[in-house]
Amino acid sequence: MLPALAALLAATPMASATFHSAVTPLSAAERHAMTPSVWHTGCPVGLDDLRRVTVTHRGFDGHDHTGAVIVQKDVAADVAGIMRTLYTTGVPIRRMRPIQAYGGDDFKSIEADNTSAFNCRKATGSSRWSNHAYGRAIDINPIENPWVEPGGVVYHTASRPYVSRPRRPGVAVEGGALVTAFERAGWGWGGTWSGTKDYQHFSADGR
């Protein structure tokens, strides 16, 4: 092999072709870490109803990484399957850490461009429970896929270049691999909502 070609290949991230997933009950340590910042008495689901879904995902650096989300047990298999599709179609995910890593603070999780799922909180601007409080919604790459209010208002500076929805890696667009993976599993996308768009948001019932 020519030295220049060898150097180029060595410097280019190469993703492996191996996807792994595991669905497991929450450990005692994880339950402790989630309480009370992410889960507390009065939440619409109990800790026994939640599962940790650990998966291989592509990173924006081109390498494979291991991440996890916490979801309701009845959608855990769906989520593992969707993540497999995202991996095989090359959709990158910045990071996947259960939101207790950010003290249950959705704003901090978004600032870290963290993909997350369960969080016992109310829907934004509402008094009703969010689908995240049921473990039936996932926010994917929230910087690249922001919450956008009419007039292009976003609340995270790094999201401003994505208001126009450029077709870039990890960006959710109609007909793109990210949106299609969820649609084929029967999940809805916040990018189709009228008025305010929640491009990061995918949920089992479309809300």
Per residue of the chain (207 residues), what is the pLDDT tens digit? 433 333 333 333 334 469 999 999 999 999 999 999 999 999 999 999 999 999 999 999 999 999 999 999 999 999 999 999 999 999 999 999 999 999 999 999 999 999 999 999 987 777 789 999 999 999 999 999 999 999 999 999 999 999 999 999 999 999 999 999 999 999 999 999 999 999 999 999 878
- Find, among 173, 106, 90, the residue nearest to 142 by Cα: 106
Measured CA to CA, the distance from residue 23 to residue 69 in angstroms comes to 10
Write down the pLDDT at residue 179: 97
Residue with tokens 């995240």: 132
* pTM recorded for the entire structure: 0.88
Write down the pLDDT at residue 182: 97
Classify residue 37 as exposed, middle or buried by CB count within 10 Å of its CB (0-12, 13-18, 19+).
Answer: middle
- Chain-centre distance of CA 153, in angstroms? 21
Rounded to whole angstroms, what are the CA distances from 178 to 39, 45, 141, 157? Answer: 28, 28, 10, 23
For residue 45, give the H/E element and its range.
Answer: none
Measured CA to CA, the distance from residue 50 to residue 33 in angstroms comes to 14
Q: What are phi and psi of 194, to 5 degrees?
A: -80, 155
Q: Mapping DSSP to helix (H, G, I), strand (E, B) and coil, where does residue 8 land?
A: helix
